[in-house]
Amino acid sequence: MNRFTIELLFHIIGIGSASGLFLKDNSLYVIGDNSSYFYEYELKSSSLKRHVLSEYPAENIKKEIKPDFEALTSYGDSFYLFGSGSTANRTKMIQLNSATKETTSVLDLSALYKSMQVLAGLNVENFNIEGVVYTGDAWYFFNRGNGNSRRNIVFTVYGRDLGGNAKITFSELKLPVIKGIRAGFTDAINVGNKLYFLATAENTNSTYNDGEISGSMIGCIDIKTMEVVFTEEISDRHKFEGLTLRYDSENELSFLLCEDNDSDQLEADIYLLKLKR
């Protein structure tokens, strides 16, 4: 018997290159890595709202200047959006009020990202934050190992401070290979005392350039030991980049996933993944 089932749940017109999502109060909130909008998709009415993240918002921003929002997390009354840090102009964090969707703070994380690189001995060509989890006590930053060194790292930042003097530790994790390509983190969420993550195998040695997709997997990390509990391949062709919890029952977890189409098409596919405990 299969441990999981996955199906295309619905299709959203108006969102491109979806890279992160969060389900809250019957609305699905989505970020795109080439957009400066924060998207709100109301599930019952199938209506889409756009909330601006910059003075001159745009979609399909040129690759060399895009903010590259790759990670979305929520805690308390706030959403937090993070740039990947893969280039100098991708280091912004935006905090939004979850009720009004108004920006409450904007931080430049250059110093924090540099501290992570120095701590782990990671050069900028191998630094690419694709998922962030905030528990109120600590932040967990997931570095995608799609550079030439293939280093998948979870950085733990303790407390609320995201400045360059924050206390940071890191755990380097070895993920499985799909069709000869080492998988790299693409998103993560917290469920109980476990970090559930997505990872994709992409045939590239660059955090900047895209490559052929070999498949995606879901996995789980024990938040206390920072060890991988399990991984499960869920596709041999999709590039899943967003993960949010739909429901949590005694025998099953249900997630919503989004796929990054790596194109200029303003369309997003949302998948339903059911995972047996």
pLDDT in tens, 161-209: 898 789 999 999 999 999 999 999 999 999 998 999 999 999 877 666 6
* Domain total of the chain: 1
- Looking only at Cα atoms, what is the longest distance across the chain? 52
CATH of the domain at 29: 2.120.10.100
Residues in the chain predicted with pLDDT less than 50, given as ranges, are 1
Over residues 117-136, the pLDDT tens digits come to: 999 999 999 999 999 999 99
pLDDT at position 1 is 38
- Containing structural domain, residue 35: 4-276
pLDDT at position 207 is 64
pLDDT at position 248 is 95
